[in-house]
Amino acid sequence: MHTDDDLIPLRYLNDLLFCERRAAMHLIERIWRDNQYTAEGTYAHKRVDQSQNLKRGDKRNVTGMMLVSYSLGLTGKADLVEFHKADEKEGADEKEGADETSALPGARTSRPHSALVPYPVDFKRGKKRRWDNDDVQLCAQAICLEEMLGDWERGRLVRTVPILKGAIFHIRSQHRREVIFDETLRQQTIRAAVRLHELVQSSKTPAAEWKARCKGCSLLEICMPKAWRPKATAARYLEQLRDIPDA
């Protein structure tokens, strides 16, 4: 279990899986720069960033809900958490899959049949791209909710509330894509959280590496990944300076 001092904003999981250098520049070097995409994302989140608790028919919508997971060492804010009434089929599915979806290996899972089922929804500016890591970020939110709504005894989580699915809402296409929090995605999320903490503790920014996805990065002009390619003029120049003997 992590302490409050260890907590890292969970949004940086997406950064990490997109590019570890970008995550380090944000978290270690404290460098931030907006571009068209980050500005559009900030504007698109204005509505859901406001904390509200509204009842909509048989469900309750909570926006701007603060989250924390001490097992992952992450904290953040959920765009939207819908609380649905569990029907008989859903309750049976959760009972069957409870052991496979526990946030912590030693924690039991439990939810009364009459309880509301949390369903996290994360808002994204554009359409899904092949290198998006939104599912991991959403899964981290689900693990946070499982721990927060679970039972604790003497500072130890003894029972979690299983959350089996959530959704990504793509604002541009107005399309909601459901995400299943299976064991593969959960393990990927746990590994990403561990790596994020390792990166921060190392205090070292990884070397630049040019990839096609760099074109859309807001830190492109600061990172200059093309300048560090082996055949780049700047890279050869710096190598020559390193090899010059001291006078």
Q: Are both 177 and 211 inside the same structural domain? A: no
| Domains held by the chain: number | 2
The answer to whether 99 touches 141, Cβ cutoff 8 Å, is: no
The CA distance from 159 to 109, in Å, is 5
Angle subtended by helix axes 20-27 and 183-202, to nearest 10: 50
**CA proximity to 158, closest of 108, 206, 110, 119:** 108
Let me know whether 169 and 245 are in one domain: no
Domain that holds residue 23: 4-206
| Residue 29 and residue 149 in one domain | yes
* pLDDT at 228 (0 to 100): 65
DSSP 229: S
CA end-to-end span of the chain: 54
**What's the CA dihedral at 54, 59, 63, 69 to 10 degrees?**
140
Tally: H helices and E strands in the chain: 9, 10
Asked if 17 and 92 sit in the same domain, the reply is yes
Q: Are residues 103 and 40 in the same domain?
A: yes
Residues 41, 79 within the same domain: yes
SS3 190: helix
Low-confidence ranges of the chain (pLDDT < 50): 88-89, 91-103, 105-106, 112-114
Residues 80 and 91 in one domain: yes
The span from the CA of 138 to the CA of 181, in Å, is 9
| Same structural domain, 139 and 62 | yes
Q: Looking at the structure, do residues 181 and 214 belong to the same domain, yes or no?
A: no
Q: What is the pLDDT of residues 160-182, one digit of tens each?
A: 788 999 999 988 788 899 999 99
138 shares its domain with 199? yes
Quote the pLDDT of residue 151.
81
* 134/241 same-domain check: no
Rg (CA), the chain: 21
The model's pTM:
0.76
Q: Provide DSSP, 22-50.
A: HHHHHHTS------HHHHHHHHHTHHHHS
Residues 134 and 50 in one domain: yes
